[in-house]
Amino acid sequence: MNRIVIYLLFLAVAVSAAAQVNVTGKVIDKENNEPLVGASVIVKGADGKIKKYATSKGDGGFTMSLPSVTGCRLEVSMMSFAKKTISLDSVSFPITVYMEPGTTLLKEVTIKADRIREQGDTITYNVGSFAQQQDRSIGDVLKRMPGINVEQSGKIQYQGEDINKFYIEGSDLLGGKYGIATNGISHEDVGAVEVMENHQPMQVLSGISFSDKAAINLKLKNKAKATWSFHGDAGGGYSWQPDGAIWDGELFAMAVMPNFQNITTFKTNNIGEDLSAQATDFFASRRGTDLSRYVGVSLPGVPNLSRKRTLFNRSALVSTNALWKLGCGEFKTQIDYSFNRITAEAANVTTYFLNDGNRVVTESHNGVDRSHSLSGKFIYELNQKTAFINNTLKTNIDWDDVRLATTGSLPNGQSAKLPDYYVSNRFKMIKRFKGKHLVTFQSVNEWESLPQNLECGMLNGELFKQNISDHAFFTHESAAYAFNMNGVTLSLEGGIKGYLRSMDSQLPQLPEEIPGLTENVVNTNYLTVYATPMFEYWIRRVNLSLNLPVSYAHYSFDKAIANHDEVYFSPSLSFNWKPNNRFSGTLRGGLGRSPMNLNLIHPGLIMTNYRTLKSGVDDFYNSSSQNVSASFSYKHTRHGLFANGRVMQSWSHVPYTMAQQLYGDYVVYSYADAKNDGKMLMAMGNIGKTLDFMRGSCNVNGSFSRNESHMLSQQRSVNSVRTGWSVGGKINGNPCRWFSFDYRIDYSDSRLTMNGMSESWLSTMENELGLTFIPHSKWQWTVSGEHYRNELTEHNYKDIVMLDTRLTYQLNKRIEFAASLTNILNKRSYNYTTYSQLSSFESQRWLRGRELLISISLRK
């Protein structure tokens, strides 16, 4: 028995002894035979995993015990010595490891800037970390930055709100025409995009008046500063539809110096890019002259399809913008000229939904629109902490000539000449005294003339000629005083507004079917005296502002209708809460009464186009409205997360309603006394996030809207509700050096309900995918495409796929060659159906066919 126990004990000891290997040894410097302290000694298994580790002690010794060392290797390393690897399969311990000098090569990673940084109210996006190989302008990169949204028009929003300033190196060179910069400046010249939240552009108001808008500032790289930089593109090629030559060219020059800035650009193309949009002033306030065109002969547009696919154009744009710093102030000039010639063809079927059955009108259009626009702006501005002075002189001359030939139930040719002449001067001065008192003077004077000439030649030889002359002068003089104490600002603004307008129209002949007068001589003048007390509370994280504008107005209409005296009061309240840097919430509400659009006052008929006439109101009306809205924004810059959402509800009460009456093939719109109530609900949300693991970002958005209105058609009341919702998402990334992608999807659904009868939901879906491959640093190949899926009638879908490709070869940093093939599948036509309030509209449109463009780009 004892023997067995001893035997078993022996066995156990032997097994455990066999199971443990003592790995011991010494690390010695081979050069001088001295022991090395602090060397790292690792036993790695056959799979490369770390089994055990130790550090050499004062005598260079190390000791570890492992169950087994079969297949293992010993790795000894130390800074300034070459790594030593020894297989442990056939060594006996203790072992001596001799280390030889060597360098431990570091894969150096320079401390890189974050993609998004936040300091106070400024958020800085690192442009290089969002740009992709195929991007050209800074606008292409802005689209990828979460929190920033670039609309189709080029307008920039930050967290759902339009920006209020666009700076280049802190200077406001372009004002609202920042599209020139976003489309022109190369992203390689921009180091960072800064977003300044709650930006108050007037320094004199800083700390006194709250702003919930953000501004964008482009921080240029040093190489683009204090010098002129140029780049240019020239391309030519062939198009299958319209059959012929195509071109695309651009010259861009920019100087950003401490006391002088200039951006000058020239662009021209006929490949479907409307350049006049690039010179749009996104900050332009509504003109005080408030004229609008009666004549509306426009070429039909295409919803749900990228404009580049459908626009048959010849466009040119010249823009030169300069800024000089003079002492404390600055002087700016902005001069633009654009030309746009657009041709369009369309076949349409319009169905009017009437209670006694539907009426169908078939037509085909073929038209040309030539427009020229010349504008000049001259600004002097002094923007200091105690004083603000701005004088802006602006002129705008537009010519718009449209010719449109129509066949169908009313064959005819229309020709409209629609020039517009506008001059304005705005002067504003604010002075701050003793830090607390603000005095403001403002003077605005505007003049505008909007003559309209329409000729309609019918197939039966009838010719309708309509001439309208419409001009207005507007003046607005005001003074304000504000007092700030401990975060509370009280202010009172008072002023007068004067308005003189005269319009006359003549249409000597009228289609026989239509009854009524066709001559108008109208003067719509007013004089308003107003006072606006304002209260603003702004302490720490809360801002509350209350506006109580009250005005008295005298309207005189020179016998067209009776003169009126009116009092208006439109209070509004807004509340903003920003508990921390991440969250901001705003509540707004307002109500009030406002006068009608004075353009509607004309006793006689005015022809809008060959088929539509409008008659004005015969009384003066006021409308009233109420609105409430709530919005929030949230950001977490370290996680690259941006979110915002808003809900709006508004009610409007208009004492008149628009009615349409059909006389044969003609439509006559008129206004009638009615209680017309509208109700609108809108909700939208947006979430953006950086995807750092692939240098990308993504965005999800959604919206819902519901519009309810009540109107009169053929003496019967119609209640119509339009409901719509949409969701969209986009994602882009650069997962590896040779590949990047962009994907976007948008889906929307809408429905019209009339008097409780619902039509079906009609959806549109759009997918867009772009893949870029960079097989070699000099070569780049992009394949992209769009898929549109439109529901024409219920469950009846129209799909269309467009494919493009582009190959780029970069000869060196200055010269690049590219070849692009657009609409590879050569899709030539596109059909769609849309619904307006009382009608449906089916259309066939033509697309730009396959196009081959070869281009060269040069840059300095």
Sign of dihedral through CA atoms 134, 136, 142, 143?
negative
SS (H, E, C) 36-72: CCCCEEEEECCCCCEEEEEECCCCCEEEEEECCCCCC
- Work out whether 32 is an interface residue with other proteins (CB under 8 A): no
- Work out whether 796 is an interface residue with other proteins (CB under 8 A): no
Cβ proximity to other proteins: between 221 and 385 the closer is 385
- Work out whether 40 is an interface residue with other proteins (CB under 8 A): yes
Of 21, 27, 39, 601, the one binding other proteins by CB under 8 A:
39
Cβ proximity to other proteins: between 78 and 617 the closer is 78
Query: Where is 426: in which H helix or E strand?
Result: strand 420-433
CB of 323: closest distance to other proteins in angstroms? Answer: 24
Of 111, 485, 567, 757, the one binding other proteins by CB under 8 A:
111
Report whether the peptide linkage leading into residue 35 is cis, meaning its omega lies within 30 degrees of zero: no
Concatenated DSSP letters of 707-741: EEEEEEETTEEEEEEEEEEEEEEEEEEEEETTEEE
Q: Strands 696-713 and 260-269, how do they pair?
A: unpaired
CB of 101: closest distance to other proteins in angstroms? Answer: 8
| Rounded Cα gap, residues 487 and 147, in angstroms | 30
Of 50, 328, 529, 736, the one binding other proteins by CB under 8 A:
50
Q: Where are the beta strands (DSSP E) in 777-850?
A: 779-793, 796-810, 815-822, 829-836, 839-846
Give backbone dihedrals phi and psi of 11, rounded to 5 degrees, phi first.
-60, -45
CA 24 to chain centre: 68
Coil/strand/helix, residue 17: helix
Q: Between residue 90 and residue 109, which ones bind other proteins under the rule CB under 8 A?
A: 103-104, 106-109
Cβ proximity to other proteins: between 101 and 775 the closer is 101
- Work out whether 799 is an interface residue with other proteins (CB under 8 A): no
Q: Is 276 left (phi over 0), alpha (psi -120 to 50) or beta?
A: alpha
Cβ proximity to other proteins: between 197 and 786 the closer is 197
Q: Between residue 535 and residue 594, which ones bind other proteins under the rule CB under 8 A?
A: 540-541
Stretch that binds other proteins, among 76-84, 126-134, 252-260, 415-423 (CB under 8 A): 76-84
CB of 79: closest distance to other proteins in angstroms? Answer: 4
Cα–Cα nearest to 196, from 159, 226, 228, 229: 159
Cβ proximity to other proteins: between 202 and 234 the closer is 202
Stretch that binds other proteins, among 35-43, 606-614, 644-652, 686-694 (CB under 8 A): 35-43
Cβ proximity to other proteins: between 17 and 46 the closer is 46
Rg, Å, the chain Cα set:
36
Of 23, 64, 69, 78, the one binding other proteins by CB under 8 A:
78
Q: Between residue 120 and residue 159, which ones bind other proteins under the rule CB under 8 A?
A: 120
Coil/strand/helix, residue 674: strand
- Work out whether 434 is an interface residue with other proteins (CB under 8 A): no
Q: With CB under 8 A as the rule, give the number of residues binding other proteins.
A: 30
- Work out whether 368 is an interface residue with other proteins (CB under 8 A): no
Q: Let me know: does 478 contact 438? Beta carbons within 8 Å.
A: no
| Rounded Cα gap, residues 431 and 421, in angstroms | 34
User: C-alpha angle 769/181/123, rounded to 5°?
Assistant: 80
- Residue for token pair 């006391």: 259
Q: Tell me 205's DSSP state.
A: G
CB of 55: closest distance to other proteins in angstroms? Answer: 6
- Work out whether 290 is an interface residue with other proteins (CB under 8 A): no
Cβ proximity to other proteins: between 39 and 344 the closer is 39
Cβ proximity to other proteins: between 76 and 256 the closer is 76
Of 32, 80, 152, 460, the one binding other proteins by CB under 8 A:
80
- Work out whether 672 is an interface residue with other proteins (CB under 8 A): no
Cα–Cα nearest to 596, from 516, 681, 524: 524
Cβ-based neighbours of 295, under 8 Å, separated by 6 or more: 416, 418, 452, 453, 454, 466, 468, 607, 608, 609
Q: Let me know: does 453 contact 417? Beta carbons within 8 Å.
A: yes
Of 20, 55, 96, 777, the one binding other proteins by CB under 8 A:
55
Of 41, 163, 323, 712, the one binding other proteins by CB under 8 A:
41
| Rounded Cα gap, residues 607 and 414, in angstroms | 12
- Work out whether 437 is an interface residue with other proteins (CB under 8 A): no
- Work out whether 38 is an interface residue with other proteins (CB under 8 A): yes
Cβ proximity to other proteins: between 107 and 813 the closer is 107
- Work out whether 79 is an interface residue with other proteins (CB under 8 A): yes
- Work out whether 735 is an interface residue with other proteins (CB under 8 A): no
CB of 117: closest distance to other proteins in angstroms? Answer: 10
Cβ proximity to other proteins: between 38 and 242 the closer is 38
Q: Let me know: does 476 contact 452? Beta carbons within 8 Å.
A: no
CB of 50: closest distance to other proteins in angstroms? Answer: 5
Cβ proximity to other proteins: between 42 and 368 the closer is 42
CB of 40: closest distance to other proteins in angstroms? Answer: 4
Report whether the peptide linkage leading into residue 94 is cis, meaning its omega lies within 30 degrees of zero: yes
CB of 306: closest distance to other proteins in angstroms? Answer: 40
Cβ proximity to other proteins: between 31 and 151 the closer is 31
Cβ proximity to other proteins: between 438 and 561 the closer is 438
| Rounded Cα gap, residues 780 and 121, in angstroms | 39
CB of 837: closest distance to other proteins in angstroms? Answer: 49
- Work out whether 112 is an interface residue with other proteins (CB under 8 A): yes
Cβ proximity to other proteins: between 34 and 151 the closer is 34
Of 75, 162, 169, 665, the one binding other proteins by CB under 8 A:
75
First to last CA, the chain: 98
CB of 197: closest distance to other proteins in angstroms? Answer: 16
Q: Let me know: does 256 contact 233? Beta carbons within 8 Å.
A: no
- Work out whether 436 is an interface residue with other proteins (CB under 8 A): no
Query: Which chain residues interact with other proteins by CB under 8 A?
Result: 37-42, 49-50, 53-55, 75, 77-80, 83, 103-104, 106-112, 120, 540-541, 638
